[in-house]
Structure 1
Amino acid sequence: MISYFPQPEQMEPLFAPGGEPVFKSIARTVYRPDDRSLFAVHLHTDEVEISFISKGEGVRLCGMKRYSVKQGDILIHNAGVLHEENTMRGDTVSYCCNIRRMRLLGMPENVLLPAGECPVLPAGAQFERVRALMKMIYSLHCERPSGYAQTAEQLMRAYIALILGLLEERRQGAGEAEKNCPAGEENTVCECVKRYIDEHYASELTLEMISKAVHISPYYLSRVFKRETGYSPMQYVNHRRLGEAQTLLTTTHKQVTQIAMEAGFDTLNNFNKMFAKQVGMSPSRFRKAFFEAESTQGADD
């Protein structure tokens, strides 16, 4: 028999006093070749979102940059960070976990990824362990045996510990240029534009209004923003509105008309048309399909 006893330095606490994470939810999403983007640009003000690509590949928007992702990648979105599923190619399976009230030692609340680090983290040799964790947590969520909530929460904490270990390995094995996401004048411009849109997307917005507010010419603003994000500023406005609408559809019982107004659409008709064009179905059908999928999907991948 081989025994292993953790050393005291290996058992240092991860969380600040009272900062143990609260597991909110897990979702398993299956993308088919003809599927459109499930969720448009959105953020969570008081949650960390962690996605794991169990199968397939595609493109994800994290913050203000697009990233190519593949099987085994973990995507970390701190609270307040915009993200979108974008294009997933072929048959793709991902798990998405949302966590609240987490405070790591020395970090702000609901921040898992330190500032400046790339949000895409390959699981590498830990792929099978991560996938097993996701399948276990998801099956507990679906089957709900006695004590499932406590068990799922402890497994989620193990997942966070594993991610922190992977982040540390990446720091030790990479040079400064590889550790940090690129920064520069264009990133600053995009951040400025994004911040303005995030604060005003629910109001009337035009390219000229955005340009005047950030003191940048419409031409330069459009060119830089498109190159960095893949969207024109006004496309981003519409995706931001759609993402907020999708969040409200799946987290509240508000009427569709009220959601359309709160998300910044001038009429219900325009909201329905844009939603169907982007998502492939009406808002009401999307809401129904979301909750049906939550209750019926299995965990084969």
Structure 2
Amino acid sequence: MTTTYLSILMKHFEQMQIEVAAAGETSIDSESVLAKEALYDCHRFLFVKKGEGQLLLQDKSLPLVKGTLCIMLSGTAHRIVPTPGSTITLQWCHFRASYEDRDLYRSLNLTQTTRIVNDEEVATLFERIFQQLAHERLTSRLRLKATMLELISVYLEHLSIAANEEEAPSHDLQKLEAIIQYIDNHLADNITVDELAKQVYLHPNYFIMFFKGIMGHSPIQYVNYRRMETAKVLLLQPECNVSAVASKVGMQIYYFSRMFKSHTGLTPSRFRKQGTISAIAASEEGERVT
């Protein structure tokens, strides 16, 4: 199920706008720890730069060690408690997103903490966030958004989906898994909304709302997206010409060429040629290095 989960997340993150409200670095020792839980109306990224402790949530306690990256959705009450006699140093940022669905993220059963392999990379990203917030340059907001997307990418790359038999995927996500799998297995066929709706026993009108509410695109828009992404891979295979690729993704060659150019900015032939040139250049560069 991991691929489906990440596909859903990536679709949401691709479309959302991010606004960083505040960021900083805080050290908490055993004596200064607050007894009251923190509750924010924005999302929080927390990164353990030094020390160790516990992240206390309503129903669980999660260990915090150097290199732990946490994400707290808005409205999540939590408390950070350092190990007795020690100090924990946290880098943090508060952000809001214009395109979000908290119930969706919670239903995905994502882990709220993950251990980062290269903790210096994340510490550097937070430093960049601090710097951009401290300056009002023309490009500061763009650089800040780019850094936040990079931080989110690091989180996703290290993300482990909770695989607890007692916390099985929701019924809706099981349906979505079946739909996405069906689409990938039938790209060469004439895929219709009615056919997709039948796979999960939903009325077509309700199915469209169900699918778009989670994926951010209509079913047919997603089918065409998958066709174009699959075509990009096939076009780089020497044995597949443009006509064969169009057939493999279930499209007439003229319509395929027009949609592919709209999707990539290049005709299929040009994309194929450009990919071959890039592959040759990369191969020659590799030979020079060795």
TM-score (norm 1): 0.45
What is the TM-score when the length of structure 2 is the normalising length?
Answer: 0.47
